[in-house]
Amino acid sequence: MGIEKGEAFAERDIYIDYDYEDVTYRWDHRTSTVYVRFYGEPERAEPVPHDGRLFNEALRFGREITREEYERGFPAP
């Protein structure tokens, strides 16, 4: 189904899990930046491009998760 970039991206932070590539993303709506976290690793300090291939695949084929799930990391312990 995919995740729409519409109003939700302007109003709140979005957390995305893309298990096909073992990666999660965090969209920070206040700064319009995207952060990546690969399974088993901490979040990378530097933002990633919003037009990056992997991020956009995650939007198309991933699923939205909660902040708690993102912070806990994947796969879930």
Domain, as residue range, for 20:
7-72
Residue 2 falls inside a structural domain: no
Per-residue confidence (pLDDT) for residue 14, from 0 to 100 = 96
Residue 77 falls inside a structural domain: no
Residue 1 falls inside a structural domain: no
The C-alpha atoms of residue 76 and residue 54 are separated, in whole angstroms, by 21
Per-residue confidence (pLDDT) for residue 75, from 0 to 100 = 66
Domain total of the chain = 1
Per-residue confidence (pLDDT) for residue 5, from 0 to 100 = 77
Q: Where are the beta strands (DSSP E) in 1-77?
A: 14-18, 23-28, 33-38, 63-65
pLDDT tens for the 77 residues of the chain, in order: 578 778 888 899 999 999 999 999 999 999 999 999 999 899 999 999 999 999 999 999 999 999 999 998 876 55
Per-residue confidence (pLDDT) for residue 77, from 0 to 100 = 53
